Amino acid sequence: MRLVIASNNKHKIAEIKEILGESFDEIVSLREAGIELDTVEDADSFLGNAAKKALEASELLKGDAVLADDSGLCVDALDGAPGVYSARYAGEGHDDALNRKKLLEALDGVPFEKRGAHFACAMVLAENGCIKAQSVGRVHGRILFEERGENGFGYDSLFYYEPFELSFAEIDGEKKNTVSHRRNALMLLLAALKSGE
């Protein structure tokens, strides 16, 4: 079966393709499937946004499995912010650098031990306009006082993963994909699909 990833984010697409590997006959992006779609993400939860994207795309891709995700950073000291607004935390336009700058400003004066945070990733798989499986994966860490590392994207350079003693941007992509929120969500999703067969 062909899997279409309902995303235009090249970083997410690359991570999902690498993590899922041989789980599907073919894995393509929306653009590779010939679909131009930019779903409005206005739900109040990661699962809500992922479901909206998956269902909208699956209506256009009959016969294909469609996978959508929504993910973001939740910071304890900020009551879970930026949360579902992670990509547009500093305003519309998905500017990663400005988002990171705003996060550091919001945490000014907060000591390291109180800078707990987690990345969350919701995954929804749909076929022919119906949800077949869904999951939420998380990975816990802390927010650094300054950016570290050149890999990754989004908030990776500020997210300190304690078991590796490195920021997500200091970890190579292959190693990150063994522990990331996206991997955890995909493993849970695959388990849900297998149990439902």
Tell me, what DSSP letter sits at residue 144? Answer: -
| 164 token code pair | 């590796």
Is the distance from CB of 61 to CB of 35 less than 8 angstroms?
A: yes
Distance of alpha carbon 46 from alpha carbon 156, whole angstroms:
18
Catalytic residue among 70, 76, 96, 172: 70
Is the distance from CB of 117 to CB of 175 less than 8 angstroms?
A: no
The pair phi, psi for residue 60, each rounded to 5°, is -95, -10
Is the distance from CB of 179 to CB of 161 less than 8 angstroms?
A: yes
Burial label, 195 (beta-carbon count in 10 A; 0-12, 13-18, 19+): exposed
Is 25 an annotated catalytic residue? no
Sheet of 166-167, strands arranged across:
26-29, 2-5, 65-75, 116-127, 130-143, 159-161, 166-167
Write out the catalytic residue numbers: 70
